[in-house]
Amino acid sequence: MKPTQSISILAITALASTVLSASAQTPPAEALINKLVAKGVLTDSEAKELLTETTTTNQVSASKWQMSDAIKSIGLYGDVRLRYEYRGADNAPGSGASESTYQRERVRYAVRLGLGGDLFDNFYYGLRVETSSNARSPWVTFGDDSNPTPSAKTSDFIGIGQVYLGWRPADWLELTVGKMPMPLYVTPMIWDSDINPEGAAEKFKYSIGDVDLFATFGQFLYQDSNPDNSFPSSDTFLLAWQMCANVKLAKDVSLKIAPVLYTYTGQGQNNGLNHPFSGQGLNGLNPNTSGYNQNGINDLLVLETPAEFNFNVGQHKARVFGDFAYNFSGDSRARAAAAATALEGGLPYAVTGQNKAYQVGVGFGNLGLVYGQTSKKNTWEARVYWQHIEQYAADVNLLDSDFFDGRANLEGVYTAFAYSFTDSIIGTIRYGYAQPINHQLGTGGNNLDLPILNPIKDYNLLQLDLTWRF
């Protein structure tokens, strides 16, 4: 055999081996080898040897990773985050306790690992596991284990963060059930970005010229307090109706606005949901009693309207964004709070008019980098906003647990800067400062990061993050 022919056979052998190993079906590869034999490129013995070798290689590869015939595609994604955090605040005078300062410095980590992709017939799926059992935070603190042994693992948990199935029967319709990524367009003012609602969601979309219209409806199971009772009549649901318009005004210029209405059905029997919310603190504590409840979801009919205006400044993207929320039942929520705390020696009258929340800010650079939603080497994002959440304006169980500690009756500033060292490594610095809005009231909300302060003042938060995103 000539050297050039040997080289050709080796090249053809490599190609045939690649085809065989990449294909789950052997007949097309066998047909290719038979063609090579018919043209005299391979002998019968060489063909048999090649078929045996490549089939064996394919079987070994399949034994390492086998994909069900029901799966059309599969993808691995997630992130690993490391953080230094300082969080502190003062206990405001008049809360029933002497003024004091509470500070925490922690080194923390968070891991999220997910699988997702498409199934056949327009179905899709997702499964994600993550550290911590806290719905509003995947973070775990190094060295905080109850076991005194160094590097113990008693606080290191893995929980199911997302598990859902979806269906796209048409270009204009998408249906999802399970524990899903947030289907609504919202901001951290009302929804902590770590919350993955459970239930069902329906998305509709339609385009008219340069206007994209969206409608999203959500039926989220808020609490199943008594699984023995009939479903769903005895359970608490959060219902959401959102209409969204994204208008392209010019090249690289767009406006997006998406009002959403929230209502609640049922009233839970556990975790304080069945007591009227007051937001007041007793001696700096947050017990969920009838007079000092921090979790009640009574009298909530909230209209939220997030919006953003996107444009370019030179080669950089820019965004002016904001959010406004109004609780139409806010005054009733205030009167229920006053009635509950009056029995415990609290305010004898209702502080009404505390039923709105708003946020306004700007972002500049690689938008989304601050939240780890995107990454590209040597890109950056700067972001700042002002936030104001009155005591009876929103559901405190959903508020962002970082900014500002998942509390109502606080206003302040949030700043962040992120830089992408590589296509997957991001460094981020965040700072937040907040003060009470109405000093007659507590800072309602229940968050374990600063559990003993209510009301709080001079709230400070500093976070330094290093993220590997994949």
Residue 132 near residue 111, CB atoms below 8 Å: no
Per-residue tokens: 31: 């047909």
- Omega of the bond leading into 404 within 30 degrees of 0 (cis): yes
Domain extent listing, the chain? 3-64, 75-469
421-470 confidence digits (pLDDT tens):
999 999 999 999 999 999 999 999 988 888 778 888 999 999 999 999 99
The whole-angstrom separation of Cα 214 and Cα 211 is 10
- Maximum C-alpha span of the chain: 103
Asked if residues 176 and 197 have their Cβ atoms less than 8 Å apart, the reply is no
Q: Which of helix, strand or coil describes residue 27?
A: helix
pLDDT tens-digit profile, the chain (470 residues): 444 444 444 444 444 444 444 444 445 567 777 777 777 767 777 777 777 766 655 554 545 667 788 889 999 999 999 999 999 998 865 544 456 788 899 999 999 999 999 999 999 999 999 998 888 889 999 988 777 777 777 778 889 999 999 999 999 999 999 999 999 999 999 999 999 999 999 999 999 999 999 999 999 999 886 665 666 666 889 999 999 999 999 999 999 999 999 999 876 555 668 789 999 887 666 667 778 889 899 999 999 999 999 999 999 999 999 999 999 999 999 999 999 888 766 777 899 999 999 999 999 999 999 999 888 999 999 999 999 999 999 999 999 999 889 999 999 999 999 999 999 999 999 999 999 999 999 999 988 888 778 888 999 999 999 999 99
The beta strand positions in 57-118, using DSSP E, are 75-91, 101-118
Q: Residues 291, 340: contact at Cβ < 8 Å?
A: yes
pLDDT tens-digit series, residues 305-363: 999 999 999 999 999 999 999 999 999 999 999 998 887 667 778 999 999 999 999 99
**Token pair belonging to 462:** 């500093």
Identify whether the C-beta of residue 295 lies closer than 8 Å to the C-beta of residue 272. yes
What is the C-alpha to C-alpha distance for residues 450 and 103, in angstroms, rounded to an integer?
8
- List the one residue out of 444, 421, 419, 443 whose CA is nearest residue 430: 419
DSSP 285: B
Strands 123-131 and 101-118: antiparallel
- Distance, in Å, from the CA atom of 202 to the CA atom of 216, rounded to the nearest integer, reads 6
Residue 338 confidence (pLDDT):
92
CATH of 75-469, one of 2.40.160.10, 1.10.760.10, 3.40.50.261, 3.30.750.200: 2.40.160.10
Packing angle, helices 44-64 and 27-38, rounded to 10: 160
Quick one: CA torsion of 454, 305, 298, 339, rounded to 10 degrees?
60
The whole-number pLDDT of residue 287 equals 67
